[in-house]
A = this chain, B = another copy of it.
């Protein structure tokens, strides 16, 4: 069975940080499943109302091999943290390819998947510190970082982030679509 990519959505998710990665998945004929806590539309930070394909309770975990997490305007204020983190724990296995951009590595760190991994994240040093979930010594200033199966990026790196993810999934795509 050809497996799918889980795309977790939360209120105020970033559309632009997500969209190049989604286009690369589409080009590479990788099916996505957008996922929300419930079946109500989720409004992104720029105003798109997106209906998730599945709720966290409907997902068939066996059909997933990868996870895409986009940024969120104010991730520290995100309600129901635990539900998102539980979902991430339910998806991730040793083989799962994870791509997480902007502030979303916060969820990944909280779920325990940045342990001893080199990573980056779009949060201020103060917020990183206060959150209490990041390993200071493994933070990288690079825009996109890959350590094993985990890709992290800051928002400005959203094009390269999509390219790294497509490559990690061995997809066939044309990155010139996104380059001036």
Chain A interfacial positions (CB closer than 8 Å to B): 14-16, 18-20, 22-23, 25-26, 31-32, 34, 41, 45-53, 143, 155-160, 176-180
Contact = CB atoms under 8 A, between A and B. Distances in A.
Given A22-B48, A48-B50, A155 B177 contact: yes
- Chain copies in complex: 2
Contacts of A45: 23, 26
Contacts of A15: 15, 18-19, 22-23
A176 to B, nearest CB: 7
Contacts of A14: 23
Contacts of A41: 51
Nearest to A158: B178
Contacts of A52: 49
6 contacts: A25-B47, A26-B47, A32-B47, A34-B48, A51-B51, A156-B179
A171 B18 CA distance: 23
Contact of A180 (B18, B48, B156): B156
Which has the most chain B C-beta neighbours within 10 Å: A19, A49, A179? A19
Please provide the 5 A-B residue pairs with the shortest distance between their CB atoms, ordered closest to farther: A22-B46, A16-B19, A19-B19, A26-B46, A15-B19
Contacts of A22: 15-16, 46-48
Given A15-B23, A22-B16, A180-B157, A34 B49 contact: yes
